[in-house]
Homo-oligomer: A and B are copies of this chain.
């Protein structure tokens, strides 16, 4: 089921990463992080708990910039290859495409990434870092400086810029984009400690996901597409309550306390990234039902930054105008509370954006295909591809509301960006 290349004149030279064979808009990134490059560790006392990780010489690799910055030594074995990987030639990779996905935990990231794999027809290993023939998904938690104990000692949360090694992150993502292999640190969520670094080869598509893919300008400017997954506090709470109370036995008090305690750092270090993201997926309470406490119905926005040039903005009916659309009517019957779309230009933190919004849920296939048939610039490869994708995972969260629809749409935009940046066309089967 892996996608096959069908076009693209893939001359298998070592890709530089800086410029692909076709134009792929270079981003002019205005960083949201106020600190100067290299100053990320300034101002907090290094903790000495935990064993230092020692760098071991590996042929063809050198110590990565930033590897020494971790006071606890957790990144000391992080390395970067000195030349372009043979994998590039073997796999016919000309230009690795790097896409950043920013999201807090519990925002639907794993469902989204599953939809992305489906759109690319790609499979990945069930390893710490999921890898496959086509896609590699790197979790940026691996660039946490501290282990869990260390954060307590240093009194920082994982959200804090000071808790993350952006110098290393930038160097290693840049290396992958240049076609070089890396030894990437591993933050083990089960133990809360660092495991020995692992070898990551460049790939056709590298997704970096986590709390800070766009926080540091050096990382952000490497991204061919940046996606921010936003969930409003009300919805986040009800999701956490459903998951953590039901599945993990937490109390409501604990959940609320945990959310509250994260808020300041989240607001300072994670949230601002959305201002500069190419696409924001924004999940809000419905406006169709007066008092939907459970957040059973959702209003979901896909906010597309106008300045982003690597993909065509999705519109409804008429690009550039403002439209409210209730598709339910004479030709399409919908179940309660129906669905309502909004589309139009808007301003988002001072940036020109195009907003696409879906409120409500669909219940039947014909509603979904009807909606899909009226969206422009989806870049589907056949009629009904979005609907088909949604129905491949009918039980996945959000499949019948705007979350699923726009997750698939963003995945399609990722495919579009991939094709634009590489000049290759993916086929589907």
Contact = CB atoms under 8 A, between A and B. Distances in A.
Interface stretch (A193-201, A259-267, A316-324): A316-324
B327 A318 contact: yes
Contact of A325 (B321, B327, B332): B321
Given A323-B323, A324-B323, A329 B317 contact: no
Interface string A327-349: 11111100000000000110000
A360 to B, nearest CB: 13
A149 to B, nearest CB: 53
Nearest to A342: B324
Contacts of A331: 318-321
A69 interface: no
A33 interface: no
Interface residues of A, number: 19
Contacts of A289: none
Query: By DSSP majority rule, is chain A's interface helix, strand, loop, or mixed?
Result: loop
A332 B319 CA distance: 10
A322 B329 contact: yes
Nearest to A319: B331
B321 A327 contact: yes
Nearest to A322: B326
Nearest to A306: B330
Interface in A345-404: 345, 374
A344 B330 CA distance: 9
Contacts of A345: 329-330
B317 A321 contact: no
Contacts of A323: 317, 323-326
A321 to B, nearest CB: 5
A229 to B, nearest CB: 26
Contacts of A317: 317-318, 323, 325, 374
B344 A320 contact: no
Contacts of A321: 325-332
A348 to B, nearest CB: 15
11 contacts: A317-B318, A318-B374, A320-B331, A321-B327, A321-B330, A321-B331, A322-B325, A323-B323, A323-B326, A324-B324, A329-B345
